[in-house]
Structure 1
Amino acid sequence: MLVFAKIKSVQEKIKSLKKGTTIGFVPTMGALHKGHLSLIERAKKENDIVVVSVFVNPTQFDKQEDLINYPKTIDKDLSLLKGVFCDIVFAPSANEIYANNITSQAFNFDGLEHQMEGKFREGHFNGVGTIVKRLFEIVKPKKAYFGEKDFQQLQIIRNMVKNHKMPVKIVGCDIYREEDGLAMSSRNARLTESHRDAAPFIYKTLKEAKMKFGTKRALEVIDWVENEFKKQPLLELEYFDIADEETLQTIKNKNPNQKCRAFIAVFAGEIRLIDNISL
């Protein structure tokens, strides 16, 4: 496994690869867990070489304290990456990526950025678009792998790739869950014991909402979820939405030809957790 911190060095290595070598890319912010490793394992099966970036991107944090508190575990990350036979790791500094100008590019994601997360995290998706576009330009992968836990982010990246005519296929991968159903996230490690015990209620509620969606109207399901969380003293619901998978627009009436997904954001103490489920 080769580790690079400089853009020029990683590009030279990629350029030296045999012509026709396929590159799979997994961008991460470190604090790796089994969910990340599952993306890498899939990329290994579908490509000749796998590149993983480890970079805590400052432009996608709407709150400075979240950036400061984000876990940085590079030694553990490198050990985990070696264990899944990652080929190349790109772990740059913020100055290396942004050249002393740490600002986001402004994107038009055709309205996808204004739904759900966009209502609560100002500028977040411009930050995501900026770093992902930059990393794609550096690595030039054939395929890039993202988990469906951040489904809105996945759709936004697909939109950016299409609008900017970038030659990379975006592969969405199933949400990787703990045995009790909690979606794996780097943030889970920061949960208190009591909040960790309460957190599986999120996925349990999503599964019940999916069942109810078979016979009830979307607004009835939303009301039911909101009432369920009022009974949970350790969990505070930020939003629950049922939306079209393509447009991410809230649906009012069910359409049999429409793919829908339920999205949720919950505070467990200070820690914000998101999840979703296909309906």
Structure 2
Amino acid sequence: MTTTTPARTAPAVAHTRDELSAARADLTSGDVGVVMTMGALHEGHARLIEQARARHAHVVVTIFLNPLQFGVGEDLSRYPRTFDDDMRICTDAGVDLVFAPSPDVVYPDGDPGIRVSSGALGAMLEGAARPGHFDGVLTVVAKLFHLTGARSAYFGQKDAQQLLLIRRMVRDLDLPVEVVPVPTVREADGLALSSRNAYLTDSDRETALCLSRALQAGADAATYGPSAVRRAAREVLVGEPLALVDYLVLVHPTTLEDVPEWYRGEALLAVAAKVGTTRLIDNTPLRVGPGGGRLDVFSEDPHGKDAP
């Protein structure tokens, strides 16, 4: 006899603060994990949800295209909007509640006069290329922490600087939320999953593979020290002239400062490049020195008690 898997129940959807409050009250346990997204969900988001589902009685997903983190000339207007597909992914992943507000719900008084500052760390790397970006990220993340009332929040290692800053905000502002890193999810050929991959043409996508190949080459050379890591990664990028590299760095996972040649320990190898009309980022945590190599995530919270 053939058996069929029962269809999953679609999550409740809240668009307003009142709807969110009512739906949140219907969850029978206070044990809630949250996954924050801007929509255009893919397997990487599904992995975040999967991790949250494994640890919590309930999972909330936020879908909000945050205007504060887009600068002048950036791609807010053309960012993929795929709500029906997003809901199917949430349903399949067993999400309990989706909060999908409009900007006037999140920012009822318009552009907020007070924002969370990302400080010096937010002005480096991605922040140098996108001024104000991380202030917008931290502001909305802090608001969504409060609105969803989650115990834990799940963020991908692919956005390494964002993850670092959110952890720093939680620590510095004593927010009662655990931030859980989840390893980057990749295609079989190594390309890191990203909503912006939808912008890539077939030829762009082939070019974009140089980012993950550069990271792997750098990780393969990690046992020989920082110079070897940088040199190996750079050689891959130089061999792909269609990728316009913004930066390739090997930095400390807490300070984002370049690690010196004598350094041994965990470090972040990160790259950003424009491929066609699309700006892509990728990174890998790694251990530098004897026995070194690639890591999925850093071994502990870089803002722990022993962090500088």
Residue ranges of structure 2 left out of the alignment (5+ in a row):
1-10, 287-308
- Bigger mean CA deviation after superposition, 26-35 or 56-65: 56-65
Distance 1:176 1:267, change over 3 A: same
SS at match of 2:62: strand
User: Is the Cα contact below 8 Å between 1:238 and 1:267 reproduced in 2?
Assistant: yes
Distance 1:210 1:254, change over 3 A: farther
Give the whole-Å Cα distance in 2 for the aligned partners of 1:3 and 1:240. 41
1:132-147 correspondence runs (5 A): 132-147=141-156
SS at match of 1:265: strand
Match of 2:250 in 1: 242
Give the whole-Å Cα distance in 2 for the aligned partners of 1:33 and 1:223. 33
> Cα RMSD between the aligned structures?
1.7
TM-score between the two structures when normalised by the length of structure 1: 0.93
User: Is the Cα contact below 8 Å between 2:244 and 2:275 reproduced in 1?
Assistant: yes
Give the whole-Å Cα distance in 2 for the aligned partners of 1:105 and 1:276. 31
TM-score between the two structures when normalised by the length of structure 2: 0.85
The equivalent position to 2:82 in structure 1, one of 73, 76, 79, is 73
Deviation at 1:65, TM superposition (A): 4.0
Identity of aligned residues (%): 36
Letter in 2 for 1:208: A
Asked if 1:266 corresponds to 2:276, the answer is: no
Distance 1:6 1:108, change over 3 A: closer
Distance 1:236 1:51, change over 3 A: same
Deviation at 1:200, TM superposition (A): 1.5
The equivalent position to 2:25 in structure 1, one of 4, 9, 15, is 15
User: Is the Cα contact below 8 Å between 2:117 and 2:138 reproduced in 1?
Assistant: no
Give the whole-Å Cα distance in 2 for the aligned partners of 1:145 and 1:86. 14
Match of 1:175 in 2: 184
User: Is the Cα contact below 8 Å between 2:157 and 2:183 reproduced in 1?
Assistant: yes
Deviation at 1:250, TM superposition (A): 1.5
- Bigger mean CA deviation after superposition, 93-102 or 167-176: 93-102
Match of 2:216 in 1: 207
Distance 1:28 1:259, change over 3 A: same
Letter in 2 for 1:205: A
Residue ranges of structure 1 left out of the alignment (5+ in a row):
none
Instruction: List per-residue Cα deviations over 1:68-116 (Å, max 9, x = no partner).
Output: 1111111111111111111100000001100141247443445321221
Give the whole-Å Cα distance in 2 for the aligned partners of 1:26 and 1:17. 16
Letter in 2 for 1:234: L
Give the whole-Å Cα distance in 1 for the aligned partners of 2:129 and 2:90. 33
Deviation at 1:213, TM superposition (A): 3.0
Give the whole-Å Cα distance in 2 for the aligned partners of 1:89 and 1:107. 24
User: Is the Cα contact below 8 Å between 1:5 and 1:91 reproduced in 2?
Assistant: yes
Letter in 2 for 1:198: T
SS at match of 1:53: strand
